[in-house]
Structure 1
Amino acid sequence: MSSKVIKTGFIGPTSLAIAFSLVAAAACAQYPGQVAKKSKDTPDLRAIAVLEWTGDAGKPKTSRLVPITVYDGEALQDGNVYLARPQPMALAGEVEYELERNGQPIGLYDIKNAGQEQGLWVGYGAWKPLPSAKPAAPKPIVDDGFNPNDDKPVLHHKHTDASSKTGSDSGGDSDSSGQSGAHDPDRPTLHKKPGTADSSGSSTSPASDPDQPTLHKKDSGDSGNTGSAQSSDPNRPVLHKSTQASADSIDGEHTSSADPDRPRLLRGKPTGNGPDVQPSLMGLPQDMQQAVAVSDAKSRPEHPWSYTWANPDDEQKMKEAMEDIARQALGLKTPPAAPKHATARTHAKPTPPPEPIPLVDEKFHVFELAYGSGATLVLSAHTDGPPAQQKFVTLIAQPDLYGNALVLLKNVTDNAHLDETPRMRLVDAVDALADNRGELLFELRGASQRQFALYRVLRGTAEKIFVTGGGQYGVAPGE
């Protein structure tokens, strides 16, 4: 077997350092060694989800929670697959979500179990009310028996002064504490046991009254017994400390977890070991309602997204302008007015303009997505008629310098093209990146599937920053 010799050139200091770094990098890739722990500056995880339910808010008939995204401090991760073992971390048992509407909390939702619907994970749990602060209990009034209007004598504790600290100054006998008792010769005095020594080491004299009872200390028993004396009553029950570990969990986390370094979301208080909640909400019923759900281990201040108009009339003007744009996008043109036939004898009265064609299921929202950022308008509606012939429109706009509606995004589709261009249904505004700025959360509903997308409105644009499920849908028209 022959061997080949490969000639190499001179390796200088620079190239040697590069070669060493490459070798070290390869070694680290093969054996990473100890994984460094996260620093204290690493931001906490923040999960965003959507709660869907039927019935009344707070007491739903059926409900489920759809995970949307988890922000790990650097990027938005898909909440449906992030750290799935097998269910995603966003749906782990006892994870607690805070339900929000327009940035205001409306309740809590605790995850009990999770399952898959049409290949996607959803969570099932219970809606709980927000905890209310209990009023502080009034301090009890202690009756010490003192009445300033009562002239009866009251006994008080004796005040110790400097003259009573030594027995020589008072002229009477002193006890072991150095306080004189000669002021009251009839006052009973406790004497030490005969044969004991005082603090100076000298033996005290026997009590003057041999029939006076004497207080004795309890026998401690065997000096080698470190516990309490139990020989007096061997049948007396004794409480012992448990030999089991003092706690099976540390800071609320179970020590038997397979991965103790795995990050976790905010967990609610367990309510017991009752049966898991069974799946109850299936499909997309007509009366289904939606709300944003946020789980964050860090407490953050509330941030309402409602916008306050300087002139209340401006809101109605912007709404009418948005409705006109929506009608044009849907092809709902206002029919022309009837022609006027004026005569010389009679003056025709001006004919009022025809009523605009109504929009069905119209929803109009105004948000202030950041303090001082101005108004962000969202309008969605569809045409009337059979479901197969309905057309849908969703608009995102902002007022321009002249008070007109500047459209940032226009989504128009119909039932025949939902798989190509899904219908955009606004869920709410939510702070997904924990930067005190709101994003618009939309449901992208197609004919046979759906996704959720986050849009950030900034500098006159509406940009899609995240979509669940890998983004099967293309870019919406107008983006």
Structure 2
Amino acid sequence: MTDAPYSPKLYSTVWRAVIIAGLALAIAPVLPAQSSRRGAADKGPRALGLLELAANGKAHLIPITIMYDGKFYDASAYKAAPVPMALEGGTVYEAVKSGVSQGLFTITGAAHAGANWVGEGTWKSAEQLAAAAAKKEARQTKPAEAEVDRPPVLRRSGSDKPAATETTKPSTPPATPAPAAASAPPVPVQTEEEDPNRPLLKRGKPSTEARPAKPGGSSTIASPSAKSAAASAKTGSVQLIPAISDADGPEPSSYTFSTKPEEEQQFRKKILALAADEVRSRDRQLAGETIAPARTQRSTISREQPTFKDPQLRIFDLSSSNEPVLVLTTSAHMPRRAEREYFVTLVAREDLNGDLHKAFSNVTDSQHLDVRQRMELIDAVDADGDGRGELLFRQISDAGRAFSIYRVIGDQLYPLFEGTPQ
């Protein structure tokens, strides 16, 4: 029996495989950590509101939700004593349009608008903030230039300091009544506000434009301001912008899906075809509830093409994955019942083959708002602070108005928050 021949190539191959396997085991724990660099979920508190911005620059804030420890609460009632936590004076909200910052809104007071709370405050657009920052930077550099251009001045040793001490010494005796002025703010209010265990939203720096964060200032209920808020909301020039207040939240990022004009036309054509199917289906359902149509009438209804009025198409990239999410809001009429106006809200996603799949559909009309609400898209917003965008809707029904937040997962919408109509 002869010994097997020695093969150095075989042993080198085996040794190389062992090294590669060892490196794979060493790198394996690192890869998941790098692929999940979204960071830990924001536990909050994270407040979401709706900013009503008028053309004259005046703004009001409607509180919607406060997310704390992964749960959503109604911001108009969360920690209200009596003013909700979301509307405490000095709280700063960043207005974001499709994830892009538009400016800052600082709460200075709160008011009742019917059964709802409305936040009063000061609005600074992104352009105004940038101009103020540039002006401040220029102001800081001016003294150095002035010092260089100033003619030389001879000073005697100790001549300037005595003057400073002489001016400050007479000012110390009249300063005795200062403690009386400092004791003006009520102590119980400050101790209640500065509870170390109480969660805090994003606070603004004290300035002449924004009052200090003090519940005493924000708890005053001013009915005239509530009337002005309701009046400005009725004008057609009011912008509705989501606003976020979070002391430790992520930086905002854009959720707009960029498309070419011809691509947008293709998206519009496809989603209007889906919307036509939804309107016809709802129309057949309502026709069956009234009078059972004949077979010829059913076939006629199925072939009818609805007429759409003012279709609004928004295309989002909610997870920065280059996967478009389409949201269509429009009204429609059927030829056989032109007096009935349908309100359509449709959410769809595109697959790898370019086909649209319905994720959500809501079709109602003015005669059935008691059983099916109308849904208006506000915008895409990061409601929970994980970097991904959710869809913010306003629901309108016979019971009142409410806000709802939905997350798009696959071909479905999952509700994160649904408010109570008021």
TM-score surpassing 0.5?
Answer: yes
Measure the CA separation in 2 of the matches of 1:255 and 1:392. Answer: 50
Displacement, 1:272? Answer: 6.6
* 1:103 alignment partner, one of 99, 102, 106: 99
Distance 1:80 1:329, change over 3 A: same
- Amino acid in the other structure paired with 2:407: R
Q: Which residue of 1 aligns with 2:356?
A: 405
- TM-score normalised by length of structure 1: 0.58
Structure 2 residue 315 is matched with structure 1 residue 366: yes
User: Mean alpha-carbon deviation: is it higher for 126-135 or for 101-110?
Assistant: 126-135
* 2:366 alignment partner, one of 387, 411, 415: 415
Measure the CA separation in 2 of the matches of 1:108 and 1:49. Answer: 12
- For residues 375-424 of structure 1, the C-alpha deviation after alignment (integer angstroms, 9 at most, x for no partner) is 10000100269997311000000012321111100100001111221111
Measure the CA separation in 2 of the matches of 1:144 and 1:119. Answer: 63
Distance 1:258 1:422, change over 3 A: same
Measure the CA separation in 2 of the matches of 1:272 and 1:402. Answer: 53
Measure the CA separation in 1 of the matches of 2:370 and 2:113. Answer: 19
Measure the CA separation in 2 of the matches of 1:467 and 1:415. Answer: 21
SS of alignment partner, residue 367 of structure 2? helix
**Unaligned regions of 5+ residues in structure 1, if any?**
1-40, 146-216, 218-227, 334-355, 474-479
SS of alignment partner, residue 353 of structure 2? coil
Measure the CA separation in 1 of the matches of 2:333 and 2:229. Answer: 28
Q: Which residue of 2 aligns with 1:432?
A: 383
Q: Is this contact kept in 1: 2:43–2:67, CA < 8 A?
A: no
SS of alignment partner, residue 64 of structure 2? strand
Q: Which residue of 2 aligns with 1:292?
A: 242
Q: Which residue of 1 aligns with 2:111?
A: 115
Measure the CA separation in 2 of the matches of 1:378 and 1:112. Answer: 35
- Amino acid in the other structure paired with 1:46: R
Measure the CA separation in 2 of the matches of 1:296 and 1:245. Answer: 36
- For residues 78-99 of structure 1, the C-alpha deviation after alignment (integer angstroms, 9 at most, x for no partner) is 1111111012100112222111
* Residues paired across the two proteins, number: 316
SS of alignment partner, residue 108 of structure 1? strand
Q: Is this contact kept in 2: 1:425–1:442, CA < 8 A?
A: yes
* 1:59 alignment partner, one of 57, 60, 65: 57
Q: Percent identity?
A: 30
Distance 1:144 1:122, change over 3 A: closer
SS of alignment partner, residue 240 of structure 2? strand
Relative to its length, the structure with more strand (as a share) is: 2
Aligned 1:211-226 pairs, distance under 5 A: none
Measure the CA separation in 1 of the matches of 2:322 and 2:149. Answer: 61
Measure the CA separation in 1 of the matches of 2:338 and 2:116. Answer: 27
**Unaligned regions of 5+ residues in structure 2, if any?**
1-40, 152-157, 212-216, 283-304
Measure the CA separation in 2 of the matches of 1:387 and 1:267. Answer: 53
Measure the CA separation in 2 of the matches of 1:373 and 1:367. Answer: 9
Measure the CA separation in 1 of the matches of 2:115 and 2:170. Answer: 59
Measure the CA separation in 2 of the matches of 1:398 and 1:102. Answer: 18
SS of alignment partner, residue 94 of structure 1? coil
Displacement, 1:332? Answer: 11
- For residues 216-239 of structure 1, the C-alpha deviation after alignment (integer angstroms, 9 at most, x for no partner) is x9xxxxxxxxxx9xxxx9xx8352
SS of alignment partner, residue 97 of structure 1? strand
Displacement, 1:358? Answer: 4.6
Q: Is this contact kept in 2: 1:44–1:72, CA < 8 A?
A: yes
Measure the CA separation in 1 of the matches of 2:339 and 2:77. Answer: 35
Distance 1:429 1:238, change over 3 A: closer
Displacement, 1:452? Answer: 0.5
Displacement, 1:124? Answer: 2.4
Q: Is this contact kept in 2: 1:393–1:413, CA < 8 A?
A: yes
Distance 1:387 1:286, change over 3 A: farther
Structure showing greater Rg:
1
Q: Is this contact kept in 1: 2:250–2:387, CA < 8 A?
A: no
